[in-house]
Amino acid sequence: MSSDALILGNPTDAELSDQLLSPAWTPKHKLWGLAFTITGAGACMLFFFAGWSIVTGIGLWGNNVPVGWAFDIINFVWWIGIGHAGTFISAVLLLLEQKWRTSINRFAEAMTLFAVMQAGLFPLLHMGRPWFGYWIFPYPATMKTWPNFKSALPWDAAAISTYFTVSLLFWYIGLIPDLASLRDRAPKKIQRVIYGIFALGWRGSADHYRHYRLIYGMFAGLATPLVLSVHSIVSCDFATSVVPGWHSTIFPPYFVAGAIFSGFAMVLTLMIPARKIFSMENVITMKHVDNLCKMILVTGLIVTYSYFCDFFVAWYGGEAPELYTMMDALLFRKGPHWEIFYLTVFCNCIVPNMFWFRWFRQNLYVVWGISILVNVGMWGERFSIIVLSLQRDFLPSAWATYNPTYVDWGIFTGTIFFFSFLFILFLRFVPFVPLMEVKELKHEMHHHQESH
Amino acid sequence: MSVEVASETPKPFTGGTTLLGGAAVVGIAGLAGLGTIWGSDQFYYSYLIGYAFTLTIVMGSLIFLMIVHAMGATWPTAIRRLPEAVVSTMPLLAVGVVPIWMGTNNYPWMHLKDFAKFQETLHVLNHKAMYMSENGFRTRAVICVVTWTLFAEYFRRSSLKLDSQSDPALKHQLKVVASVGLPVVGLSFTLAAFDWVMSLSADWASTMFGVYFFAGGFLSSFGLMAINLTLCKRAGFLQSVNDSHVWSIGRLMFAFTVFWAYISFFQFMLIWIANKPAETVWYLLRIQPDYRWVPYTLMLGHFALPFFFLLWYRLKRNLKALTAIAAWNLAMHFIDIHWMIGPMRHWQDHIGTIPKAADAFMWTDFAAVAAVAGLAIAVAVFRQRGKFLAPIKDPLYENALRYDSR
């Protein structure tokens, strides 16, 4: 079989149903149990450190003056960015008629939801008094405490809550036919009842499919501008200010490209082990891996282009504070933590270029390694933008160095565990490869072959 | 799903004499008009407007072609000869860079003395003098146009080879060259935008500018594709290009209408909200009374109107309607390019002051567009004569004709 196929072999519909639904009721894999325990414990650590921060205050963190924003916003941007691949794969690639999205879209969408959940924690915790979180929304307050609409933060709150809502609905609507299959094939009554409730009475009639297609297409249309708007708004948190290293007009498209870049990397990080553990190699093929690698290469090049524009124009513009922050503190290694900047350039601009070569795209160990490095690089990018800029702004007398505390690290790693915890639950409770769409693709491809 | 492919015996392109003759006459008339002001400042700015207008569209077509080859996309194979005809004007535009090469005198970085009283600006100009120098500018201009011409000729000529025989090896080569070439072309085009247009301002800089300069041209290249398709169909060619292809062009026009608005909006909004004097001056100059109607026209005409029309599914499948929007789009692109360049005409007069109203549209601006675009059309038609209007032996061609999407 060529490595270009999107489905290997020629499974029947029944075989596909058995295979793709099986993770929901076959006995637990040992590895899954182990992962469940570890990530569950890690999630508890997150709740411990987050609770402690709420009770004591965020003085537990390394934030200082002038670095008032650090891990909280770095992790927020990083997680939101990771979420972007899900929407990109499910909405943009659907509109672009890219068939290879079919086996991986549900997987990526779930990743989006869980990533946005992690992201949402950080602004809340950073408030210090999360119970006042609703102040960010323009509710009819009797004290007339309106949010400042010229600040990018209320835009953020609106963009992200919209994004989460649309992503959730999009994901759920896509799931409905498969939930019905689960209902029909589940061995236990309790499973049949629960899946039955969520399947909303789907029976697969032509009418159901017609409505389903219509609404799915509509959500794709709604989700597409959200892919662009959310990270553009996130970039405005920085670009609307005058802080050197932050105020750059290319930030919106640059952040969007970076977000998709890191999101695709995370899809690969999760997908490569999952397809192995659950034996899904026939529906998530090397062709999928190959295409994801190419997307990483393209978005990586756009990110590199943005770095180039940012640094070139900082030099060309010739403003002293901008020159110091971008050139001296970062490029010429005079600021603290410059290593992170060089790590970023290595991971984001150099490493992805390995994907020019087919051999690297076909070697799963290499691909997996690179996907991790890209995510490290994208975390480093946010660290460079946020911390390295704030450490060295206008007045040398105001400069300081930022160092994270173990609470910062505990919360950050905790979100990685919590994310993984939610993700492995998802792997077991719903089919992570969309059954209905894979069957449809199989029939389309079969038909296509016959018509020649 | 399979669509009925209109039966058509491919024949080489003949005719177009009227278009060729008309375009050549318009072009020469434009040149003659420009000739009357040869050597003046006004000549340079008008010429730059005409050149940038044409170049951005040609570069948009080149980048589209390269993306198509890099992705191995199927459906565009059916209409690929149209952008290839557009990029066949690249050698002409390479020659057309000469007035820009000679026009360095019109840039503020050549006149440091004028800024003697304005230490901050002078400081910036001195700071970048090693890059923004006459020699650097000229060298980069030559490198850029040579690079683009080589790529344009390569893609057109290789594609013409696919008219006579199917050659999978050549297809693969096209893919590799396109993938490797895209970063090169993208970067050189950005640097050209910085040099030729952005550096008209003494100390203004925007990291987005390269993308902004590209966005309008890329959009217009799809509009031009729709117009060319109409012309070919009327002349009896490309009958097998179907509604789905038209829809794809329409969707691209829609997507990049939004893209242009996105890029322009964020560039403006970020500069407005940060309110740094060195940055806002660019927009301040461009909302002076003579020019104030332009940004509103762009908001409405470059974005809102086409956006709402192009939302309409059936309109995007209707070539006639699409062609009308495309023609409108080209006019908007001209205004957009003019807005970037035109207001800089009298920069010497308002050094260190609040910018004064510049002379808005001058007849020579239109003459310049007529000259460059007219001659380019004549060259494109001339070079297309005797060639097929589709790469009929391309391995993807048959499938491209069968493209069905609704």
Looking at A253-267, B6-20, B32-46, which range is the least confident one?
B6-20
The answer to whether residue A406 is domain-embedded is yes
Q: Does B267 touch chain A (CB under 8 A)?
A: yes
Between chains, do A239 and B270 touch, taking CB under 8 Å as contact?
A: yes
Q: Give B264→chain A minimum CA distance, Å.
A: 10
**pLDDT for A427 beyond 90:** no
Higher-pLDDT residue of A347, A23:
A347
Tell me the per-residue pLDDT of A130-144, one tens digit each, with 9 for 90 and over: 998 888 888 888 877
**pLDDT score at B341:** 92
Distance (Å, whole) CA B401 – CA B10:
13
The answer to whether residue A4 is domain-embedded is no
> What is the share, in percent, of chain B residues with pLDDT greater than 90?
70
Looking at A15-24, A381-390, B3-12, B228-237, which range is the least confident one?
B3-12
Which residue from B262, B266, B274 is facing A242, i.e. has the nearest CB? B274
Looking at A368-382, B108-122, B291-305, B346-360, which range is the least confident one?
B346-360
**pLDDT score at A339:** 93
Closest chain A CA to residue B311: A221
**pLDDT for A81 beyond 80:** yes
**pLDDT score at B1:** 47
Tell me the per-residue pLDDT of B201-220, one tens digit each, with 9 for 90 and over: 888 999 999 999 999 999 99
> What is the share, in percent, of chain B residues with pLDDT greater than 70?
96
Contacts of A193 (CB under 8 A, 6+ apart): none
Q: Give A293→chain B minimum CA distance, Å.
A: 13
**pLDDT score at A3:** 57
The answer to whether residue A174 is domain-embedded is no
Identity of the amino acid at B149: T
Find chain A residues with C-beta within 8 A of B262's C-beta: 228, 232, 252-253
A-proximal residues of B, 194-253, CB under 8 Å:
194, 203, 205-211
Looking at A180-189, B7-16, B53-62, which range is the least confident one?
B7-16
The answer to whether residue A170 is domain-embedded is no
**pLDDT score at A332:** 87
Between chains, do B208 and A232 touch, taking CB under 8 Å as contact?
A: no
The answer to whether residue A198 is domain-embedded is no
Closest chain A CA to residue B120: A319
**pLDDT score at B359:** 67
Q: How many residues does chain B have?
A: 406
pTM of the entire structure? 0.94
Give the number of domains in chain A: 1
**pLDDT score at B88:** 96
Find chain A residues with C-beta within 8 A of B269's C-beta: 240
**pLDDT score at A7:** 78
Print the domain residue range for A105.
28-165+237-451
Closest chain B CA to residue A294: B71
Q: What is the mean pLDDT of residues A320-341?
A: 89
Confidence of residue A67 (pLDDT cuts 50, 70, 90): very high
Q: What is the mean pLDDT of residues A162-188?
A: 89
Between chains, do A318 and B211 touch, taking CB under 8 Å as contact?
A: no
Q: What's the mean per-residue pLDDT of chain B?
A: 91
Closest chain A CA to residue B67: A298
Count A/B contacts: CB-CB distance under 8 Å.
Answer: 80
Best of A316, A349, A446 to substitute, by most chain B Cβ atoms within 10 angstroms, is A316
Contacts of B87 (CB under 8 A, 6+ apart): B58, B61, B62, B65, B152, B155, B156
Confidence of residue B353 (pLDDT cuts 50, 70, 90): low
**pLDDT score at A111:** 92
Q: What's the mean per-residue pLDDT of chain A?
A: 89
Q: What is the mean pLDDT of residues A87-106?
A: 82
The answer to whether residue A187 is domain-embedded is no
**pLDDT score at B3:** 66
Closest chain A CA to residue B73: A98
Between chains, do A251 and B270 touch, taking CB under 8 Å as contact?
A: yes
Confidence of residue A2 (pLDDT cuts 50, 70, 90): very low
Angstrom distances, CA of residue A235 to CA of A98, A382, A392, B268, B304 = 28, 11, 20, 15, 25
**pLDDT score at B281:** 87
Between chains, do B187 and A308 touch, taking CB under 8 Å as contact?
A: yes
Tell me the per-residue pLDDT of A331-342, one tens digit each, with 9 for 90 and over: 888 889 999 999
Confidence of residue B291 (pLDDT cuts 50, 70, 90): confident
